[in-house]
Each structure stands twice: as C-alpha cells, then as structure tokens.
Amino acid sequence: MATGDTGMEPVLSVRNLSLEFVTRRGVLRALNEISFDIARGEVLGVVGESGAGKSLTGTAIIGLIDKPGRLSGGEIWLKGQRIDNIGHDGLRKIRGRRIGMIFQDPLTSLNPLFRVGDQIAETILTHMPVSKAEARSRALALLTEVGIPAPESRIDAYPHEFSGGMRQRVVIALALAAEPDLIIADEPTTALDVSVQAQIITLLKRLCRTRGTSVMLITHDMGVIAETADRVAVMYAGRIVEIGPVADVIRHPRHPYATGLMGAIPALGAKVQRLTQISGAMPRLNAIPAGCAFRPRCTVAIGKCAEAIPPLVPVGATSARCWLHETPVEWSASHG
C-alpha cells in the first residue's frame, strides 16, 4: 500500500472508483479512476473548483449517491472491509458509526425541531449499547469538548439559539458522537466568517489528533488545506490530477493545473503584480475534451495530450497525471 510509514493498513482505501450519471442524453462520467488511501490519524485534503467532483467523491464513499447516479467501477475499503457493495442496510450501520460527516451549512444539518443534546444522544443510542442517561452524559462531554460555553444549559437549547460557529461545533460533536474511524468534512468552514473559521479549523485539528480520527477534508480553499492537511489531492473534471504531501504540492506542484491554481490564489505574504491566470473554465460533464481534460486550458500541452489520458505517475514526492512527467515505470505495477 502506498501510505503509512508504519506499514499499517489504511483506514480508508479507494481503488479506481468511477461514478456515472445515466441521463436521457447519454451517460455522464462524473468520477474517473479515483484512487487514494487515508492512514490512521491522517488528514487528506481534497481540493478543486466547482464541478471537479470533490463532494461527489465524499458522497460516494458514504454511499449517498442517488439515482440516476451509480458507481460504475472500483472498490472502497474501510479498515479491510469492502463497503461499496454491502447494500443499504450495511451502509446504515457504517454511516455515523464508523464514518462521520460534517457538511457545509450547519443550519441544514441539524434538525430545527429537536434539542441539540437529544440529537447527539440519538446518534449515540443508535450506534452504541448504552443507556439513555449514559448517552446524555456523553453528549454533555462532547459539547464540552468542542468548546460550547456553559454546556449544561446549552444541551437543551434548539439549533436556532446558537450562532453559526457554535452550530458548526455542535455538528462536529455529532460527527464524533459514535467515535468513528473517519470523518468526511465537506466545506466545513465555507459558510463561516474568517475569525470563526480559524476557531473551527483549530478545533477539528485538535480533536482528530487526540482521538486518532482520520479526516477527508473537502474544500475549495487552498489556505485551509495548507494549514490543516497532511496530504492533498487536487481534482479536475472528475479525476485526481495530483496527489502528495501538502508542502510539496503547494511549493512544487507538478501538474500544470495545480501550478496555475497556486499562482491564481492571492497571497497575504507578498504582493504580486499580476495573478497567474488560467484561461477558460472547467469543462462541463457532457463536453469533457478527449485526452487530458485540462489540455484546452493548458499552456504547455503537447501533441500527445489530445490523444490519450495521462496516467497518474510518481514525480518526486507527489504523483501527477500529466504527459510531461511520463516515466517508464508502469503505474499499474506500482499500484497493485
């Protein structure tokens, strides 16, 4: 396996995952041959622009893909157990229990009609063999842990009585309630102001470090990834175009799209005269160009790029999907 210096089995292993939508106008391939591992306690950042397929990857892992979407290939392994073919009931036992989820908007991920303490206790009771009183005391402990002030009185409050940042803390407590192995956080700070965003990032990092929980952090904000993630996967048009340690991808990106993306982000550190500009926009799913999907926007494209899709090959510390880095090493061999 690719990750983990200790040789430990990864918590999550995704192999060649593909997902398609069957529509009247034909089949749209939204995800193509997605492969990655997340080790225990590791934070994997997934970054990309709208429509790159980053949220869809998270949704596919917890089996929440609705029709007309369907997995058309690949495997998903959670701690050695295959979970992409275990059916609706099997997945229900995994969602919430072994994989926790944090969504972008904390107001829509909490039920407005129930007290927050009851919502957390409900998750604990569903998944763990404890009494009601025990579930409530655990809920109280969780609220304390995520930094809700005066948790003894706030446990009986309704979601609308909390501010945005406090609500997101409750959602994090909810995701951690059944002590999952993995948390999928889909844009957890996008709806929050920067000062609150900093609090939530710090909280998420601390909790996952102390509990050894792995995190798949989906966001469009490269700054959040830089501060939080250990490794990062850059997605473009349904494929991972580069994956590697966060410092290497940010400082020495190998894929032309990743290079452009880093240059396009205005930095706080130094003022540049002009931002790097990637012309055009991400293609729609029904009009993905042949060969490398980034070719029409790429400044260094070569003839081969129009003909075939480049494989993901190791380049230095990272792996990139670009013909410029073609190496004689066969990817499928190293990939198992």
CA angle 55, 148, 223 (to 5 degrees): 40
Q: Which residue is listed with tokens 């939080």?
A: 228
Binds other proteins by CB under 8 A, chosen from 266, 303, 328, 336: 266
Q: Which residue is listed with tokens 């404890």?
A: 130
Stretch that binds other proteins, among 10-18, 132-140, 174-182, 189-197 (CB under 8 A): 189-197
**To which H or E segment does residue 99 belong?**
strand 99-102
Q: What is the CA radius of gyration of the chain?
A: 21
- Judged by CB under 8 A, does residue 271 bind other proteins? yes
169 CB contacts (<8 Å, ≥6 apart)? 143, 146, 147, 148, 200, 203
- The token pair at 44 is 């994997």
- The token pair at 224 is 């959040």
- Judged by CB under 8 A, does residue 287 bind other proteins? no
Measured in whole angstroms, how far is the alpha carbon of residue 257 from the centre of its chain? Answer: 19
- Judged by CB under 8 A, does residue 201 bind other proteins? yes
Walk across the sheet containing 69-78 and list its strands.
Answer: 26-38, 12-23, 69-78, 81-82
Do residues 277 and 265 make contact, with C-beta atoms less than 8 angstroms apart?
no
- Judged by CB under 8 A, does residue 262 bind other proteins? yes
As measured in angstroms, the least distance from the Cβ of 253 to other proteins is: 11
Specify the residue, 282 or 301, whose C-beta has the smaller distance to other proteins.
282
**To which H or E segment does residue 232 belong?**
strand 231-236
Binds other proteins by CB under 8 A, chosen from 227, 289, 324, 331: 227
Binds other proteins by CB under 8 A, chosen from 19, 99, 121, 278: 278
Closest CA to 39 of 178, 243, 213: 213
- Judged by CB under 8 A, does residue 164 bind other proteins? yes
Binds other proteins by CB under 8 A, chosen from 8, 64, 281, 300: 281
Question: Per DSSP, which regions of 24-66 are E strands?
Answer: 26-38, 43-47
Binding footprint of other proteins, residue count (CB under 8 A): 47
- Judged by CB under 8 A, does residue 165 bind other proteins? yes
Stretch that binds other proteins, among 73-81, 113-121, 174-182, 197-205 (CB under 8 A): 197-205
As measured in angstroms, the least distance from the Cβ of 287 to other proteins is: 12
Closest CA to 262 of 316, 230, 221: 221
Do residues 84 and 74 make contact, with C-beta atoms less than 8 angstroms apart?
yes
As measured in angstroms, the least distance from the Cβ of 267 to other proteins is: 6
d(CA 327, CA 336): 17
Binds other proteins by CB under 8 A, chosen from 196, 285, 309, 324: 196
Specify the residue, 70 or 205, whose C-beta has the smaller distance to other proteins.
205
- The token pair at 309 is 């899709």
As measured in angstroms, the least distance from the Cβ of 22 to other proteins is: 24
Stretch that binds other proteins, among 7-15, 30-38, 216-224, 324-332 (CB under 8 A): 216-224
Binds other proteins by CB under 8 A, chosen from 220, 285, 309, 314: 220
Specify the residue, 13 or 214, whose C-beta has the smaller distance to other proteins.
214
The residue ranges that bind other proteins (CB under 8 A) are 49-50, 163-166, 193-199, 201-202, 205, 220-224, 226-228, 246-247, 250, 260-269, 271-272, 274-279, 281-282
